[in-house]
Structure 1
């Protein structure tokens, strides 16, 4: 017996030893005694590989340094108890609930809704409508009055003409008769969109209800979507407070004349456009489709250009004066290309209600929930008229501990639904028979608990969901830590900021600048004439009068304080007083009259405060990380690291 006992003990020891070695091989490093596994490092490294801009972060050793610093910070955050803060827990819970929605949709129903949405955005409908307003929770009497009104308007519209009735009944309060213009998918609430797209051209829809009230829609036209436009523009805005600045309308007309004279649009945009985000790119804007911009005037002009390289006449929007050049036209993207974007829109739209219904149905199937619920008869029998007065109570002798429905491992009792009924009576709009009220409230109760149970157990069902939640949990914790330990402290540490500024004062200097006038022309000969006039200190308006004519703009001036990176200055320009030679710049010729050279100027702490605080925060963080490295010991498993490097090279 003793020999058998010894043999068993040796065997158990060997098994535990092998298991320990296996676990140790899976560990990349320890933060004190907390293990960090190879699998986590590889997953995060591979996930972020294509996102990092700094090539050094793609190096395994460099990335490991970032990762160990990350884990040090998380260790400190938990040591400070930041994971126990109520605000942290609340935000994490809200995010988790929001994320869970994307993992709990019925894929077949979602796909059908996305396909329908693609069909809708491929067309545009032009329509007008009449709306009779009525609240969503209006009484049956008010609802009937609104319905009868819209029905009467429809009958009149069929006989008298929609436009005649629309203009007559509109009062801007209870009845609205509006022109809607063209619209595509997602521009209206889903029920309205359905009615518009399912009604034929020149037809009037049957009455339908949205959350705003009852509508009828008159469809005037349907056409293929105009797709996307890519344009470049030159924008001139009014310089408020600058009395010497040229009027935007005059300046844009001068630029337009230069375009008609054959000068390059992109070069002129680089020289003169006040839209700094696009000027350096020759005025190029991101592609857009109808309804995407905040200016209908701009869209109408852009979509009105038919041929590539067509240029509009100057026009005004609320942003300023523009000239637009058509760069590209693109039809609606393919379904596969736009599908992910459409799916996100569908989930945020009224369409989501249909997706929710499909989810409830699938969860009932998953957890074996029968549609029939015999217990509802009992709950119907205990309701009274007090429910409508919001004074109803569960009766004496209420059967509270009887099983009602089981979802997974969780058993719900009569008392759970009874309490739900009691709380629900406080809501407004409790109308209908006891039977219909109990059925509706039970569906709400069941659906809510089905979703909650699935959400609570989603990390066990879905590995990807678990990873994303963990990443957000750590990221949120890290944000709280940095805010309390570095960012807020650095902002309020006035003495530390002042000392840091004094130590690094040479870093905070305004560059050399000039007070100058830049003359630009497509003709070198013209600039030689302008240079002579500038030498005589002639006013710019006078020079323009002499050089330009009503039909032809030969020169445009730009003046002000400029540094070496100003768009009007050639890269090779040397800062010195006087009138420069003629430079070739942005496909035009320029001369520069430098009135004064402003030397490099040290910035005061107040002038450079934003940059100083950022630098001070980085300095504090670097020092703090060194302290954390001393506080929590990092032990790297070199064999595991070598194994990772081998895997990545393959």
Structure 2
């Protein structure tokens, strides 16, 4: 009996919870916010909240109210009507919608296939007979017979490279012999890729049809995908504002010290100007082929053949480097790559497979009918000027404007296809024949209209999508309203900024500073010699010339103004004028020559501008939020809120 009552209570509990979430939790001005929206935002952002007091639902409510007040102000200012906002939101909405439109079993199968193929790289040759997708039947048959004849020769053992040079119609085939080198997933059109991955090494494929024509392929080798690398580096920037030290000279000095036995990590911490990696001994995050902005750096890294190997100094787009290979990272797991592969599938030629699957689902859910062939009426209406990108769609009378297909209750006509073609002709890569162009653009148009229809129903049909897209919609609005009402106001209000600075001047002060020269070396006795030379009147350049040469660098030198606590000054150093004793650090020895001690004191507005501006923006936002609270009354239904909290416990 107790079990029966417990089961009955669950039966009623589920809809009650659902009711609480769908109830209106609060109003901000004229906006109504449901419990479900609050819960979604709270649960998504909980880990980002730094203040422990705001991690509770009561504490987070204050943040949520401020969030919604800003949204209300953005709508009141009409920021949702701005062209730039509409453009940026539409771009995100398209990307998000594709994930929901194509989220099905077919996508998962294609993702799995792409991942498994991506574990290998194939060395491929091919032979091509050119023929368009809409060529005349006799031309298509002629091309097929030619490739079939060449395939028989290849299967009989004739040299594939020579056959490619003799018969292939691919531009440049006589020079390349049809060699593509190593390819992997997404490197070629999908039918070509599929054929390549179905061939054993040394085998010749069946005849493959693509938009370019008929192919046959030969796979010469298969190898595992190159691993990602972990490297450490030391970088000296070659920016003009980076300092007075010659960057090539400095990196060669550092490399000489490494060659003399200094630890790579210590040199990186002390001399690398990539501060993000310097604190980790120079180590960078893992990367793979094609993932860096510097091809030079990537090539140098992949040339290191053994763990621990170190490159010589080289120059990239960012400065001078030496790098060390630390480890090889195995290929990413399926779960790590899944989302990226999904995006690439939806944007590439695999999308045709997804499109057909989408059409099938739309047929079942909304209804989809192709009413008439597009090609004959399009060929009669569209003139040859389309092949010069200059065709203009002339008006069609109703009888000459047939319905091409219907999605749900929405008919799409020839005139709408023509309007799309008129715009698309300006950007598309033109094929050789008009019919081929019309076909390619038609299938783009059909896919686009299907996606538009499904997307137009997503917020109504998919609650999760509706909540996610609304969160992004409001996020863009908040950024714009903050920029207009706080950030830009603070940047342009020079009088207000100066007044704020004067009122809070005590908060902006220098610590003690020192104008100094710093000598460093791995051997303390070298710095003892530097100290003696300084006392005898030699300057820094004379000392470096005496102690360093092309074969060995004993001492490194830098100069500047350093504030108390600067990492370049040893912890044990006390700021003062004159030559210090030789000081030991974690990685080496340091000698400091104090030129002038600048005592602690107030900063000028120019010296503290960055921090003052940040603080002024915080103050402006606080004042602005007080105004918004008066402008948009906030009403919270405490009964609904308490029920939501009980449901979370």
Q: Does 2:466 align with 1:466?
A: yes
Secondary structure, counterpart of 2:372 in structure 1: helix
Aligned to 1:543: 543
| Per-residue deviation, residues 549-579 of structure 1 (Å, max 9, x unmatched) | 6655433223333334544322343221112
Q: CA deviation at 1:234?
A: 1.4
Counterparts in 2 of 1:145 and 1:292: CA distance versus 1, 3 Å? farther
Counterparts in 2 of 1:488 and 1:236: CA distance versus 1, 3 Å? closer
Aligned to 1:419: 415
Give the alignment of 1:59-458 within 5 angstroms. Answer: 59-85=56-82, 87-89=84-86, 91-105=88-102, 107-126=104-123, 161=161, 165=165, 182-187=182-187, 190=190, 193-194=193-194, 197=197, 221-238=221-238, 240=240, 245-246=245-246, 248=248, 250-369=249-368, 375-376=371-372, 385=380, 387-388=382-383, 398=399, 407-408=407-408, 410=409, 412=411, 416-420=412-416, 423=419, 426=422, 447-458=447-458
RMSD: 4.9
Counterparts in 2 of 1:281 and 1:177: CA distance versus 1, 3 Å? farther
Name structure 2 gaps, 5 residues minimum. 1-15, 385-390
CA distance in 2, matches of 1:509, 1:214: 74
* TM-score of the superposed pair, with normalisation by structure 2: 0.78
Aligned to 1:628: 628
| Per-residue deviation, residues 590-619 of structure 1 (Å, max 9, x unmatched) | 221222233456554455544443333222
Q: CA deviation at 1:105?
A: 0.7
CA distance in 2, matches of 1:190, 1:231: 34
CA distance in 2, matches of 1:49, 1:550: 58
- Is the 8 Å Cα contact of residues 114 and 343 (structure 1) preserved in structure 2? yes
Segment drifting more, 592-601 vs 540-549: 540-549
Secondary structure, counterpart of 2:450 in structure 1: helix
Counterparts in 2 of 1:149 and 1:28: CA distance versus 1, 3 Å? same
Secondary structure, counterpart of 1:569 in structure 2: coil
- Is the 8 Å Cα contact of residues 199 and 205 (structure 1) preserved in structure 2? yes
Aligned to 1:42: 39
CA distance in 2, matches of 1:314, 1:301: 10
Aligned to 1:476: 476
CA distance in 1, matches of 2:274, 2:535: 32
Secondary structure, counterpart of 2:591 in structure 1: strand
Counterparts in 2 of 1:88 and 1:571: CA distance versus 1, 3 Å? same
Aligned to 2:11: none
Counterparts in 2 of 1:229 and 1:564: CA distance versus 1, 3 Å? farther
Secondary structure, counterpart of 1:517 in structure 2: strand
Secondary structure, counterpart of 1:288 in structure 2: coil
CA distance in 2, matches of 1:67, 1:220: 60
Secondary structure, counterpart of 1:457 in structure 2: helix
- Is the 8 Å Cα contact of residues 514 and 595 (structure 2) preserved in structure 1? yes
CA distance in 2, matches of 1:143, 1:404: 27
Q: CA deviation at 1:439?
A: 8.8
CA distance in 2, matches of 1:568, 1:360: 65
Q: CA deviation at 1:314?
A: 3.6
Secondary structure, counterpart of 2:454 in structure 1: helix
Q: CA deviation at 1:225?
A: 1.5
Secondary structure, counterpart of 1:326 in structure 2: strand
Secondary structure, counterpart of 1:560 in structure 2: strand
Q: CA deviation at 1:382?
A: 7.0
Counterparts in 2 of 1:110 and 1:548: CA distance versus 1, 3 Å? same
Counterparts in 2 of 1:131 and 1:27: CA distance versus 1, 3 Å? same
Counterparts in 2 of 1:204 and 1:411: CA distance versus 1, 3 Å? closer
- Is the 8 Å Cα contact of residues 230 and 326 (structure 1) preserved in structure 2? yes
Segment drifting more, 183-192 vs 63-72: 183-192
Aligned to 1:534: 534
Secondary structure, counterpart of 1:592 in structure 2: strand
Aligned to 1:14: none
Secondary structure, counterpart of 1:289 in structure 2: coil
CA distance in 1, matches of 2:182, 2:138: 35
Name structure 1 gaps, 5 residues minimum. 1-18
| Per-residue deviation, residues 121-155 of structure 1 (Å, max 9, x unmatched) | 21233467899999999999999999999999999
- Is the 8 Å Cα contact of residues 132 and 174 (structure 1) preserved in structure 2? no
Secondary structure, counterpart of 1:113 in structure 2: helix
Aligned to 1:31: 28
CA distance in 1, matches of 2:516, 2:323: 29
- Is the 8 Å Cα contact of residues 135 and 212 (structure 1) preserved in structure 2? yes
- Is the 8 Å Cα contact of residues 129 and 179 (structure 1) preserved in structure 2? yes
- Is the 8 Å Cα contact of residues 407 and 450 (structure 1) preserved in structure 2? yes
Segment drifting more, 132-141 vs 175-184: 132-141
Counterparts in 2 of 1:175 and 1:541: CA distance versus 1, 3 Å? same
Q: What is the count of residue pairs matched by the alignment?
A: 617
Q: CA deviation at 1:266?
A: 0.7
CA distance in 2, matches of 1:202, 1:444: 37
| Per-residue deviation, residues 402-425 of structure 1 (Å, max 9, x unmatched) | 9986543x253xxx5243366467
* TM-score of the superposed pair, with normalisation by structure 1: 0.77
Secondary structure, counterpart of 1:450 in structure 2: helix
Segment drifting more, 43-52 vs 634-643: 634-643
Aligned to 1:16: none
